[in-house]
């Protein structure tokens, strides 16, 4: 049985710009009639999620992502269609939702525990665990209205860690917390999924989406544009929104902050941007830092018409870059036996902030892979024909 089952969900938000529209909308509410004359936010959305699966919902702002999560969380009702949830739900949709700002953090945790049916010693133990996870010190005894946005996220997520719902729904809240708390949450979610939990995630961070989710749903103007493997869907989405002039490159970037200074490619010890198929490639990347902090880098390969082929981040590996007295960091990367099919490609490097959250710039060079082949595609896969 599916944990989530969505069938032909539609959602309209009524127009309320004029008094006449407001009165018409109010009458339909009083008469319990659906208003399908407004803006069509979600259009015939259908999908299912089984227990233990993880699904990311991606798309531009205004695509309908948050509205879909609110429907699944029963915060709002669809205009038409039906949905079914077979399990308990923990939702982190908006900062502070579910908390009374006039009450202290500890008082809100006690109310949350009561709402989840926790009682006695079990409730006391779990509330203590929530306090430890949130780790906001003496602020736990202060009214929530005095909290920063990051502290509210800490409090909200701490409740999830102890109630352990069958389905966890989160809408971009991880982007608010500091880096150390983000890592703490990601570690907890990893374990939650390994223990059979189910995740529904909205995020603009492709890194978080690909790290946490196996599938992705791409919404565009309320329509399902793509659904399936997380890498295929996110790559298609990224290709659709890529603005080749949107990110500064080379001398266009602010040279006073973190940036890619240059990178070189060597083949057989010589600097070269043309090399044969199946060659061993060495790459050196120079990155400038103004404050001795080590920014991460992202490496990507794209076809000549900018279709993604491969991408990765330095933080995924035990990299050991070197730094000189001028603030220049050198990353070294080996690509042994590179089996890109013959053709033209763009090699790209992006500077990441030292916390590896934000991408700063891009630096790219055109590369030619030489050779002849009747195989199709961009990369040769080893096959064993019998």
What is the β-pairing status of strands 80-85 and 2-13? antiparallel
Most confident of 75-79, 96-100, 262-266, 300-304: 262-266
| Residue 110 maps to a domain | no
| Residue 275 maps to a domain | yes
As to burial, measured by CB atoms within 10 angstroms (0-12 exposed, 13-18 middle, 19+ buried), residue 33 is exposed
C-beta of residue 294 within 8 angstroms of C-beta of residue 323: yes
Indicate whether 321 and 303 sit together in one domain: yes
Q: Which residues pair with 54 in a beta bridge?
A: 199
Structure-derived torsion over alpha carbons of residues 238, 314, 208, 239, reported in degrees to the nearest 10: 0
Q: Which residue has the higher pLDDT, 227 or 176?
A: 227
Structure token pair of residue 158 = 């701490």
Indicate whether 347 and 364 sit together in one domain: yes
Structure-derived torsion over alpha carbons of residues 14, 17, 23, 25, reported in degrees to the nearest 10: 0
Which residue from 342, 348, 63 is spatially nearest to 221, judged by alpha carbons? 63
| Residue 136 maps to a domain | no
C-beta of residue 340 within 8 angstroms of C-beta of residue 277: yes
Indicate whether 234 and 339 sit together in one domain: no
How many domains are contained in the chain? 2
Last residue of a domain, one of 216, 241, 266: 241
Q: 19 is in which domain, residue-wise? A: 1-88+198-241
The pLDDT tens digits of the residues spanning 11-64 come to 988 776 677 767 776 776 666 666 666 789 999 999 999 999 999 999 998 899
Concatenate the DSSP letters of all residues of 27-48 into one string: HHHHTT----SSEEEEEEEEEE
| Residue 353 maps to a domain | yes
The mean pLDDT of 294-298, rounded to a whole number, is 93
| Residue 223 maps to a domain | yes
Indicate whether 233 and 282 sit together in one domain: no
Query: What pLDDT was estimated at residue 334?
Result: 95
The pLDDT tens digits of the residues spanning 307-334 come to 889 999 999 998 889 988 888 899 999 9
SS3 state at 241: helix
Q: Which residue has the higher pLDDT, 314 or 210?
A: 314
Indicate whether 228 and 349 sit together in one domain: no
What predicted TM-score, i.e. pTM, was given to this entire model? 0.63
As to burial, measured by CB atoms within 10 angstroms (0-12 exposed, 13-18 middle, 19+ buried), residue 113 is buried
Indicate whether 227 and 84 sit together in one domain: yes
Indicate whether 204 and 287 sit together in one domain: no
Indicate whether 237 and 328 sit together in one domain: no
Indicate whether 278 and 212 sit together in one domain: no
The pLDDT tens digits of the residues spanning 105-129 come to 999 999 988 888 888 888 899 999 9
Indicate whether 244 pLDDT > 60: no
């Amino acid at each position: 049985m599916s944990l989530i089952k969505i069938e032909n969900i539609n959602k309209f938000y009524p127009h309320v710009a004029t008094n006449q529209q407001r009165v018409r909308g109010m009458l339909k509410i009083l008469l319990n009639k659906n208003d399908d004359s407004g803006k069509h936010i979600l259009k015939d959305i259908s999908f299912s999620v089984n227990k233990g699966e993880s699904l990311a919902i991606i798309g531009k702002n205004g695509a309908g992502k948050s509205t879909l999560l609110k429907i699944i969380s029963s915060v709002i009702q669809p205009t038409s269609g039906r949905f079914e949830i077979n399990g308990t739900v923990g939702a982190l949709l908006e900062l502070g939702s579910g908390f009374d700002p006039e009450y202290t953090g500890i008082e809100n945790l006690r109310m949350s525990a009561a709402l989840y049916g926790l009682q006695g010693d079990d409730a006391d133990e779990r509330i203590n665990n929530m306090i430890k996870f949130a780790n906001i010190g003496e602020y736990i005894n202060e009214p929530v209205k005095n909290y920063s946005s990051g502290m509210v996220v800490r409090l909200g997520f701490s409740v999830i860690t102890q109630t352990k719902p069958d389905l966890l729904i989160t809408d971009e809240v991880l982007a608010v917390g500091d880096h150390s708390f983000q890592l703490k949450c990601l570690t907890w979610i990893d374990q939650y999924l390994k223990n059979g939990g189910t995740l529904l995630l909205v995020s603009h961070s492709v890194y978080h989406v690909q790290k946490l989710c196996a599938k992705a749903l791409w919404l565009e103007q309320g329509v399902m544009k793509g659904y399936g493997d997380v890498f295929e869907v996110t790559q298609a989405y990224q290709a659709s929104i890529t603005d080749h002039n949107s990110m500064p490159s080379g001398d266009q970037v602010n040279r006073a902050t973190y940036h890619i200074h240059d990178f070189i490619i060597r083949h057989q010890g010589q600097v070269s941007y043309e090399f044969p198929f199946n060659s061993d490639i060495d790459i050196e990347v120079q990155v400038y830092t103004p404050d001795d902090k080590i920014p991460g880098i992202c490496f990507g390969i794209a076809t000549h018409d900018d279709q993604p082929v491969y991408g990765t981040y330095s933080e995924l590996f035990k990299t050991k870059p070197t730094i000189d007295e001028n603030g220049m960091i050198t990353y070294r990367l080996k690509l042994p036996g590179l089996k890109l099919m013959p053709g033209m490609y763009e090699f790209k490097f992006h500077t990441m902030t030292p916390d590896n959250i934000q991408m700063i710039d891009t630096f790219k060079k055109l590369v030619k892979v030489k050779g002849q082949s009747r195989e199709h595609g961009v990369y040769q896969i080893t096959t064993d024909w019998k």
